[in-house]
Chain A
C-alpha cells in the first residue's frame, strides 16, 4: 500500500498544486453544495467530465505497458455511441443498447489486437487504420445525422445521480479499481509488463504473448465502449463527427502524466487516472477562470509542459546535483575543518 502511495505521490502533489493554482483565479473551486439530492460544485464537474478520458486512460495504460499504443479509442467511442443510439432508436431498450455497445467495443479491440499480435503490424499504424476509418463506420450507423433518443434509463448512465454523485463517476472509479485489482492481485500485471519489456523472451519463458496482447487491446476497446456510452448518454444523442474527437491524445497524455513510460514495462493504473483528473482540472479551470477562448489551448499546453518538466527524471537528476553542489559550497570540506 505504501509503495502504491509513493508511486502516485508526484501525481497527487501535482493535482494539489493545480487545484491551488485554479483556486487563485476562481476562489470557489473547492466549494461543494448539496441541494436537491445531489452534490454540485466545480470538483464534482471535474470528476464527472473527466470520466471519458479516465476510462480511456485505464485501457491505454495496459496497451502502453505492452509497448503498444491505441490511437483508435476516440473513434471507438463514436462507433459504440452510434451503436447504442441506433439500438435505442430501433426500440431495443437500454440494457440491449449497453450490451450491443460493449460488443462493438469488443469487436474493435479484437480487430486491433489481431492486427498487432497476429499480423505483426506496428501498433501505431494498426490502430491508425481504425482511427481514420472508424468515423466513417459510425457515420454509416447514424446516417450522418445526430441520432437522438429519449430513453431515461440509458440517459441515466450519462447524467443520472446515485447517492448524490453523478453516475459516470462510479463507472470510471469502479472500472479503474477493478482493473487495478485484477492486474495486481493476480500475476496478470506482471505478465503484461514482461511482454512490454521483452516480448520474445516472455514468449520463450512460456507466456502466451499473442493472446495477452489481443486481450489488452480488447480491454482498451471495452473501456472506450464505456466512455462512448457515457458520452452518448450525456447529450442524449450520438454525434458521429464529434464524439471522442482527439480524446485518444488526451488519454495518452493522461498515461504519460501518470508517469508511465511509452516504452512499455512498469505501469500504474491509479497514476494514469490521476493524470486524467489533472487534465480535466486544467480544462475545467480554464473554463471557470473566464479567459477568452483564444487562450484555452496555450494555457493548457503551458500547464501540461510544466507538469511534465517537474516530473522529468533528467531534470530531477540535475536538481539533485545542484542541491548537492550548493550544500558542498555552504559547508567547508571536512579536511579543511580538521586542519589546525
Chain B
C-alpha cells in the first residue's frame, strides 16, 4: 500500500517537475527576530530555486495553521512547509495532506504525530549547540583553572535545559574548567545584565575566566555589565554564546565577544533540498535533518557577517 502510494506520488511529481513547483508555508508568526529572519530566508530560498511560495502567517494560533494547511491542500500545492506552534493536535490535518499525497516538511520544531505523516523534519540539535560552545571553551581557555559563570535561559524551557546539558558534556573530563555560578537571565538583555552584575559582586570579577550565555541577547547585556564594572569583556572574561544574531557580530568586531554558535534561520534550504530530491526520484530523506551549528569567532570577519544579517529582520 505504502509503496503504491509512493510510486504514484513520484509519478505525479515527475509529471510536474518541468513546471514551477508551488510550496505552501505555514509560519507560526513573527514573535522574535529569529522567526522574522526565518521567514525572510525561506522567501529568498524559494525565489532562488524558482519555487512559487505561498506564505501564511498563523499569528501564534494552531487553528490558523490548520486552516492554512487545509487551504494549501485544496489549492493542490506540491509540498507544505510547517513550523508548528505546538507539538500536539496535528494528526487529522496531516492525514488529510497525506491522502492528497502532498509531502509535509516540519521546520524548526517537532510534532508528536507518528513520523509517517510527514516527509521529514528540519531543525537544530540544541544539545549539540551547547557542546559546540563548550568545545570552543575547552580549546581556547587560558592556562590554568578556568572559573565559568553561566547565564541560563528561561528556567524549564527546552533550549535552557539542552544547551546546559550540551555544554556540560563538552567540558566533562576537563578538571580545570569549573562552572562556579549558574543563574537564569530569562533570555533577555536586562536579565543578562542584572544577573551578570550579581555574578561580578559574588565572584570578585577578576576570578571569572569565562561566561557562557544560552543566547546572544543575555551575553550582550552581560557585556555591558562587565564594561561598567571597569573590566574588558572578551579579554578579561571570555564570552561564548548561542544564536548568532547580528548584534553579537558587532560586539565581536569590537572585540567584546569571543564566539557564538549559529542557530541558523535557514531551515528552508535543507527542506527544499530534500523536497527537490523527493520530487525528482522519490528519494525518502531521513526523518530528521539536523542543521549545522556553525561556530563563529572574531577571526571569521564578524563585520561582514553583521552586514549580511542585519537586514534579515532580526
Chain A interface residues (CB < 8 Å from chain B): 26, 28, 35-36, 40-42, 45, 49, 144-146, 148, 159, 231, 234-237, 239, 241-243, 284, 287-288, 290, 292-294, 296
Q: How far is the CA of A299 from the CA of B186 in the complex (A)?
A: 17
With contacts A40-B229, A145-B33, A287-B183 taken as known, whether A26 is within 8 angstroms of B190 at the C-beta atoms is no
B186 touches A242 (CB 8 A): yes
- Distance to closest chain B CB from A251 (angstroms): 16
> Please, which residues of chain A bring their CB within 8 A of the CB of B313?
144-145
Contact with A along B141-163 (1 / 0, CB 8 A): 00000000000100110000000
> Please, which residues of chain B bring their CB within 8 A of the CB of A235?
189-190, 193, 220-221, 224
B36 touches A36 (CB 8 A): no
- Distance to closest chain B CB from A195 (angstroms): 35
B190 touches A293 (CB 8 A): no
In-complex Cβ contact of B155 among A145, A234, A237, A293 (8 A): A293
A159 touches B228 (CB 8 A): yes
B31 touches A241 (CB 8 A): yes
B36 touches A145 (CB 8 A): yes
10 additional A-B pairs beyond A42-B201, A159-B228, beta carbons within 8 Å, are A35-B230, A45-B201, A49-B194, A144-B32, A145-B36, A235-B193, A239-B189, A288-B198, A288-B201, A294-B155
- Interface size, chain B (Cβ < 8 Å): 34
In the complex formed, the residue of A with least CB distance to B156 is: A294
Interface membership of B30, Cβ < 8 A = yes
B201 touches A231 (CB 8 A): no
Interface membership of B56, Cβ < 8 A = no
B193 touches A234 (CB 8 A): yes
A290 touches B197 (CB 8 A): no
A293 touches B184 (CB 8 A): yes
In-complex Cβ contact of B247 among A40, A45, A146, A234 (8 A): A146
> Please, which residues of chain A bring their CB within 8 A of the CB of B186?
242
- Distance to closest chain B CB from A222 (angstroms): 21
A-B contacts, 15 listed (Cβ < 8 Å) = A144-B313, A145-B313, A146-B247, A234-B190, A235-B220, A236-B224, A242-B191, A243-B190, A287-B202, A288-B198, A288-B201, A288-B202, A290-B183, A292-B182, A293-B182
With contacts A45-B198, A45-B201, A287-B194 taken as known, whether A146 is within 8 angstroms of B189 at the C-beta atoms is yes
Interface membership of B195, Cβ < 8 A = yes
Q: How far is the CA of A35 from the CA of B184 in the complex (A)?
A: 29
With contacts A293-B152, A293-B155 taken as known, whether A41 is within 8 angstroms of B190 at the C-beta atoms is no
Tell me the number of A-to-B contacts counted with CB atoms below 8 Å. 76
- Nearest first, the 3 closest Cβ-Cβ pairs linking A and B are A287-B198, A293-B184, A235-B189
B residues 181-227 near A (Cβ < 8 Å) are 181-184, 186, 188-191, 193-195, 197-198, 201-202, 217, 220-221, 224
> Please, which residues of chain A bring their CB within 8 A of the CB of B201?
28, 40-42, 45, 288
Interface of A is mostly: mixed
Interface membership of B314, Cβ < 8 A = yes
Interface centre among B197, B220, B221, B247 (most CB of A within 10 A): B197
> Please, which residues of chain B bring their CB within 8 A of the CB of A148?
247
> Please, which residues of chain A bring their CB within 8 A of the CB of B36?
144-145
B30 touches A144 (CB 8 A): yes
Q: How far is the CA of A49 from the CA of B194 in the complex (A)?
A: 8
B197 touches A144 (CB 8 A): no
B195 touches A146 (CB 8 A): no
In-complex Cβ contact of A287 among B156, B195, B247 (8 A): B195
In the complex formed, the residue of A with least CB distance to B184 is: A293
With contacts A145-B313, A235-B224, A236-B224 taken as known, whether A45 is within 8 angstroms of B197 at the C-beta atoms is yes
B228 touches A239 (CB 8 A): no
In the complex formed, the residue of B with least CB distance to A31 is: B201
Q: How far is the CA of A237 from the CA of B313 in the complex (A)?
A: 16
Q: How far is the CA of A49 from the CA of B36 in the complex (A)?
A: 32
With contacts A45-B198, A288-B198 taken as known, whether A293 is within 8 angstroms of B183 at the C-beta atoms is yes
In-complex Cβ contact of A290 among B155, B181, B229, B314 (8 A): B181
B30 touches A290 (CB 8 A): no
Q: How far is the CA of A45 from the CA of B196 in the complex (A)?
A: 11
Q: How far is the CA of A145 from the CA of B197 in the complex (A)?
A: 25
A146 touches B202 (CB 8 A): no
- Distance to closest chain A CB from B157 (angstroms): 11
Q: How far is the CA of A28 from the CA of B201 in the complex (A)?
A: 9
In the complex formed, the residue of A with least CB distance to B221 is: A235
Q: How far is the CA of A109 from the CA of B163 in the complex (A)?
A: 42
B residues 222-265 near A (Cβ < 8 Å) are 224, 228-230, 247
B188 touches A296 (CB 8 A): no
> Please, which residues of chain B bring their CB within 8 A of the CB of A236?
224
> Please, which residues of chain A bring their CB within 8 A of the CB of B221?
235
> Please, which residues of chain B bring their CB within 8 A of the CB of A45?
197-198, 201
B155 touches A296 (CB 8 A): yes
> Please, which residues of chain A bring their CB within 8 A of the CB of B202?
26, 287-288, 290
B195 touches A145 (CB 8 A): no
- Distance to closest chain B CB from A52 (angstroms): 9
- Distance to closest chain A CB from B229 (angstroms): 7
In the complex formed, the residue of B with least CB distance to A160 is: B228
A146 touches B190 (CB 8 A): no
> Please, which residues of chain B bring their CB within 8 A of the CB of A36?
230
B152 touches A242 (CB 8 A): no
A145 touches B314 (CB 8 A): yes
In the complex formed, the residue of A with least CB distance to B229 is: A40
> Please, which residues of chain B bring their CB within 8 A of the CB of A239?
188-190, 217
Q: How far is the CA of A146 from the CA of B230 in the complex (A)?
A: 25
B residues 161-184 near A (Cβ < 8 Å) are 181-184
In the complex formed, the residue of B with least CB distance to A41 is: B201
> Please, which residues of chain B bring their CB within 8 A of the CB of A35?
230
In-complex Cβ contact of A144 among B33, B191, B224 (8 A): B33
In the complex formed, the residue of B with least CB distance to A291 is: B183
> Please, which residues of chain B bring their CB within 8 A of the CB of A284?
198
- Distance to closest chain B CB from A4 (angstroms): 31
Q: How far is the CA of A26 from the CA of B193 in the complex (A)?
A: 20
In the complex formed, the residue of A with least CB distance to B180 is: A290
Q: How far is the CA of A288 from the CA of B197 in the complex (A)?
A: 10
